Every structure is written in structure tokens, then in C-alpha cells.
Structure 1
Amino acid sequence: MIRLLLVDDEPAVLAALRRSLRLAFDDSALQIETCGDPFAALERVCVCEFDIVLSDFMMPRLTGGALLQALKEVAPDTVRLMLSGSTEFSTAMSAINEAGVLRFIPKPWQAAELEEALRLAMARRAELLAERAERQRRAAEAAAGLSPQEREAARLEREEPGILHVRRAPDGSIIL
């Protein structure tokens, strides 16, 4: 299940986003939380892990760009999406470059565009989790002090289970 946090200071926008996403995705595929305050959203992200955060750009006290930039530091594997009524190119570029936003979705959004952005974010999240698992595996191997040959044998065994186990007949021939 994908955990999604929606952040916007307008309750009506949060309700409309939730409705759009409920129509596009099965309840078992998407768990949605909403937050009307960017500081509360940042606190929530520090407490539990979200797969995707979709934030409005223009909010009081803290912009969505600043929120997503802070989120990049706190939860780098969380995919960040930006929603904005602003059509300024510089707004979109700053969000993408500084906060590492995957997609910039204009308000009012099109349901198909919102769904496509979420599907891309889900795919990116899967990639980020796979990269994290690979980093952890490499760190564990390095901590275990495995030789290059042992690391290669472990990699081969992961990719093709049983490849290193050779069955032999009594005369020494290989049994296929």
C-alpha cells in the first residue's frame, strides 16, 4: 500500500484531491492523509514514513517549495510532487531544481494528469526503495568483510538461486 500525504492550506482543495484520487485508485492501493499546515506536515513526515508527498506551492508561513526542500533532507526516499495555481515557469523550475520535485501539477488539475503523476511517483518510489536496499546490502557485505569472490557468488545466487549448487554423480559427472 502506498502512503500519500496531501498538503494544502485550503480544506476544499484537500477534499477535491482526495475525491479525485479515490476515483482513480483502489482503497487498498492508496492510503491518503491530509494536512492543512506545512509545519504540521513536516512534523508528521518525521514521525512516520510516506511514499509520496503532494504539496501546494503557495501556503502561508512556509511555501510548498520550502516544505519539499526540507522534506528532501528529512526523508530523501519520499517522492515529492508539487501542485500550484501559479503558471510562472520560474516557480516550477525552482521547485524541480531545489526540492527535487518529480512532477509539477497545475491547478486546476486534470484527473488523468493527476493519476499519471501518481503512477510515475509510485514507480519512482519503487526504484528508490530498491536503491536503498542495494545500498544496505552493500554496507552489510562490507561490514561482514566478504571478499570480491564471495560477493560475486552471493550476487549470482541472488539472481539465479541454486546456480552455485552442483550435483554430481558418483563418477564425478555433473547431474543436470
Structure 2
Amino acid sequence: MSKDEYILAFEAILYGLIISRILVKWNYMIQDDKPKKGYWAFWVLTIAIFLLIIYVFMMNKIFNHYDKIVDASTFLFYAVFPPGLFTFIVYQIFPREFKNVDLREYLMTYINRVILPLNIYIIFTLFQFAGSITDPGAIVGIVIILFATSVSVFKRYWLLEVYSVLFLLSMIVFGYM
């Protein structure tokens, strides 16, 4: 096996664990522990994060950026850093138990723990892949960062809802490009 295949297998295990965590938590929400009060923006945001994780793994596989990995530090930066951020995001966005949890209040309380790693990942991606600031992907990334920052600073529900919908739409649009 080549170096690229080893790295791809390692990333597949990490992303598989992250995706399985999301699916298990969705299962708990639907079947076992119905939350006290649901919130549609919570579902939209978790679906957008799910699509982002799949999109990132597929783009790594398609564009094969593994030639940049020449030593242990670049391996950690390119192969472990993104899945590590996604793992942190997934563990922060879902409550430990769903019984008697108001998902709207929970998400607004802990949104900074989700937004900061997402912004870090978007900035990481902009520096890694965007050709220029006028690249459509870079513009969408900057808009998402600005909305995310406004959600975490102003703590308004309508900003969270707009951010969730825009984030999901951007994942759908860029997933088909």
C-alpha cells in the first residue's frame, strides 16, 4: 500500500466514527429520548454539519492532497486536524441526554462551542484551497464566518435560524458543484 492509501484508510476510520456518532444521536432523538422541546434549526444545523463532513472526506479523496504530507507535523495538520475539529463539533452540538432538554435553549447556550471550530475549519480551508478572495467558495466561506460570528456575539434566535439555513444551502450547492 502506498502512503496515500494508508492516510485515506486512517481518515476513513476517523470520519466513520464521526458520522456514526451523528447517526446514533439522531436515532436517540427520534426514537428513545424525545426532547422536551424540539427546534427545527437544530436539525438543519446538524444536517448541514453532516453534509460538510461527508463533503470534506469526499473532496480529500477526489483531490488527493496527500502529496503535501511529508512528515509527522504535516500529517497531523492535514489528516488529523479536520477530523479532530469535526469530532469536537459533533460532541458539542448534541446534548448528553435528550430528556427534558429544550433544544432551542441548549443550542443558543452552547453555540459558541460549535461556531468557533467551524470558523477555524473554514479559515483552514480558505487558506488551503481558495485561489483568491474572489473565488466563489471563498466568498461563501467569508459570509458563513460573518454570520456565525454575529450569531455567537449577538445571541439572537433569528440569526441562528438564518445561519443554519444558509449553511445547509451552501453545503447542498457546493456538494453538487
Considering the TM-score relative to the shorter chain, is it more than 0.5?
no
Structure showing the higher strand proportion among its residues? 1
Q: TM-score, normalised by structure 2?
A: 0.29
Decide which structure has the larger Cα Rg and report it: 1
